[in-house]
Structures are given as structure tokens and as C-alpha cells.
Amino acid sequence: MLSKAGTRLMQGNEACAEGAIAAGLRFFAGYPITPSTEIAEELALLLPKVGGKFIQMEDEIASISAIIGASLAGAKSMTATSGPGFSLKQEGIGFASYTEVPCVIVNVQRVGPSTGVPTAPAQGDVMQARWGTHGDHPIIVLCPSSVAETFTLIIEAFNISERWRIPVIFLMDEVVAHMREKVVVPDVSQIKLVERPRPQVAPDQYLPYAAGEDLVPPMADFGSGYRYHVTGLTHDQTGFPTTKAPEVGALARRLDAKMKRAAPHVTFVDELLVDDAEVAIFAYGVTARAAAKAVRDARAQGLKAGLIKAKTLWPFPSEHVRRVAERARAIVVPEMNMGQLVLEVERASAGRAKVAGLSRVDAEPITPDEILARLREV
């Protein structure tokens, strides 16, 4: 049954699927892979109820290709995958980023590389989410740490992708995906939805890649009377291929500037007790939950700890880290990888605070006690 307003017990993957429909998702293409499969299963059931479409494609690349096609035809679109599938999707992610086609790509992280441990959590895809496809490209990466947050953040993912015409990677982890928690589903009238900018000029005046002040070009739906060309080749404002140096450079620079323009509007961070923190934690995903407990335990023991919980990983929330680094003695960065965002925290801290990583890569989540011990060390 479709989610109605009210309080429900939901699984993370279920919240992802239902939140996406609430956000306006009307086309999903996917391929079965653990631990993301429930998203596809839910959407196969629910999408047709709202007149949306679901298709199980022959592979991961076909799935992302299909959602880009559907988005060009005007449908809010999404695919979902996990580790090995995410590697395969990189081709399409680059195409969507370069052609500025809104879409959401869910990656439920599991232990890698390669097949790894399919049923166990990890946070090893953070750098791949940012740089997995070739070439400079804008991308936005959001990361929920609870089931309720999955529901609200996936709605933001769609809104951001539509508003800025940038693909959004929704980076979950196996724990958040499979745990069940309370979700307060809002009434549909309370959910703010954003649509992509569409052309305001007549078709013969339309320049598909000419952007205005906000650097986001208006996007026409295929079949709406605006006949235009979309290519993964480097293109000029008309959408046609170019190899002229000034035009090649102009596109790269506009896309970069667009990402920077979007950054303050797409950066979501929760701060817990950071104002007087002597030691801070920077955490995301399921690890942020253990970090919050570690902060409370530290405070109970007289250690002034605080937490920067990043819900946006890319663009990296450098400002938040910099502000905390000005006061705190040290920042601990627990991650279920060998140290990925710890390097970004170091960069943003710029020597103001000591930065210490905490890695766990044995297919088990990081515990509050491990983080607390690290807080005491630094």
C-alpha cells in the first residue's frame, strides 16, 4: 500500500523507495543486487499505483542509461545499486553530469572491493562517489544515517537534482538500508517539490545549453516541441559537438561554477554540541549514530565532545569543519574504510586542529566505545 501520512515502522530501503515516490519519482530502472534489492522490489510494487513505471533491466549500465533517457523525456528518475553495480554505473553518471540530466543514483554501500562481503556494511565508496567517472564533473552526494532521515533526504536528493540539473548520488550503507525504525510520513501537502527549470522561450529561440545567471540551462522534455540535440561529446550552447578550445573550456568552467553556486544550497550538516567542544567527531551514515552516542558518553565523563554529522559528503562541508577546527583541539574521523573523508577533514582543518582517523574494515559497524577511546587518545 502507498504510504499515507502517519507514523510507520519502515526499513531503510523501504523509506528510500517511498520517499522517492513522495519526491515525484515516476521512472525506476534497476538490476538486482544485495543490499539494495528491496528498493527495486518496493518500487515494482508501488510505482504503477501512482502511474509511474518500473523496469528491471538486463544490467546495471542499462539501468542508468534507461533512467537518463526517461529523465530526458520528462520523468523524475532513479536507479539503485550497490558496490559492484556502482562501479558499472560510472559511465552513465558521467554522461548525466555532462549533459546535465537530473537523476538520482542510490548506492547502498557494502564491503568491497570487488564482490567483497555483499551482506555487510562499509563506507568504502565515498571517493568513488565523487570521482568514479572520468573527467572533471559536478556531482552531489547525500548520505543518510537513519531510516527517517532516508525518507526526508531522498526527497532533497530529487529536489536538488532537478533544481541544479546535477546527478545526485544517494550513498546509503547496509545498516541504514536494512534496519527498521520509526518514520513519521508527512502529508503530501507538506512536502515541498522542486521541478527542473523548463524553457520560457519559443522552440526556435531555445538554446539548450545556454545558462542564465544561476548557471543552470532550462531543460525541455523530449517530445514537447523543443527539438534539440543531446550528446556526451563536449558541446556548445546549442548542444552540438565542439572541439574549439574556448568552448571546451567554457563548458568545463560553467559546470564547475554551477557546482560552486549550488554548494551552499545542497550542503546539509547537523551539529551536536560543537560550540564548546574540545574534541570533535566528523562522521556520516551509520557511523554518525555511534558518534552521537560517543559524544553523550564523553560528556557524561566530563570530556567536552561534539559531532559534525555530514548529510552532504560532496560538495564537502569544508566551512563547518573549519569553524569547529578553530576551537577544538582535535577532530576524530571514524569511517568504515581505510581513511577517505579524513583527508578532506585534514584539508579543511588546515592545521588548526589535530585530525585523527579511525578505520574499521572488518564488515562490522564502528561502536561508540571505539570512538570514545579514540577521543580520549587525541
Partner 1 sequence: MAMPVTHYLRTSKMPHIWCAGCGHGIVLGAVLRAIDSLGLDKDEVCVVSGIGCASRAPGYLDFNTLHTTHGRAIAFATGIKMAKPELKVIVLTGDGDAAAIGGNHLIHAARRNIGITTVCFNNSIYGMTSGQYSPMTPTGSLASTAPYGNIEEPFDLCDLVYAAGASYVARGTAYHALLLSKLIAKAIATEGFSFVEAITQCPTYYGRRNNMRSAVDMLKWQKEHAVPVAAAAKMSAEELVGKFRIGELGTRTRPEYTRRYAAVIETAQKEEAEQDA
Where does this chain bind partner 1 (CB under 8 A)? 1-2, 26-27, 29, 45, 48-49, 51, 53, 55, 57-59, 61-63, 65-75, 77, 91-92, 95, 221-225, 227-233, 240-241
Nearest C-alpha neighbor of 321 from the set 330, 332, 311, 308: 308
Q: What cell was used for 171?
A: 550513498
Using CA atoms, how far apart are residues 251 and 265, in angstroms rounded to an integer? 22
For partner 1, which is the closer residue by CB, 75 or 172?
75
For partner 1, which is the closer residue by CB, 113 or 223?
223
Q: How far is the CB of 51 from partner 1 (least distance, A)?
A: 6
Using CA atoms, how far apart are residues 66 and 345, in angstroms rounded to an integer? 36
Q: How far is the CB of 342 from partner 1 (least distance, A)?
A: 34
For partner 1, which is the closer residue by CB, 59 or 364?
59
For partner 1, which is the closer residue by CB, 210 or 303?
210
Q: What is the DSSP letter of 273?
A: S
Q: How far is the CB of 59 from partner 1 (least distance, A)?
A: 6
For partner 1, which is the closer residue by CB, 203 or 249?
203
Using CA atoms, how far apart are residues 294 and 375, in angstroms rounded to an integer? 9
Q: How far is the CB of 16 from partner 1 (least distance, A)?
A: 20
Q: How far is the CB of 196 from partner 1 (least distance, A)?
A: 14
Q: What cell was used for 283?
A: 562522521
Q: How far is the CB of 193 from partner 1 (least distance, A)?
A: 18
Neighbours of 171 (CB within 10 A): 26
How many angstroms from the chain centroid is the CA of residue 54? 21
Q: Is 77 exposed, middle or buried (0-12, 13-18, 19+ CB in 10 A)?
A: buried
Using CA atoms, how far apart are residues 372 and 332, in angstroms rounded to an integer? 10
Q: How far is the CB of 116 from partner 1 (least distance, A)?
A: 24
For partner 1, which is the closer residue by CB, 92 or 167?
92
Q: What angle do CA 310, 329, 341 make, to 5 degrees?
A: 30
Q: Is the dihedral of CA 54, 59, 60, 65 positive or negative?
A: negative
Q: How far is the CB of 181 from partner 1 (least distance, A)?
A: 25
Using an 8 Å Cβ cutoff, are 82 and 33 in contact? yes
Backbone angles phi, psi at 263, to 5 degrees: -45, -55
For partner 1, which is the closer residue by CB, 222 or 270?
222
Q: How far is the CB of 54 from partner 1 (least distance, A)?
A: 8
**Locate cell 518514520: which residue?**
183
Query: Kind and range of the H or E element at 370?
Result: helix 368-377
For partner 1, which is the closer residue by CB, 17 or 355?
17
Using an 8 Å Cβ cutoff, are 361 and 331 in contact? no
For partner 1, which is the closer residue by CB, 44 or 250?
44
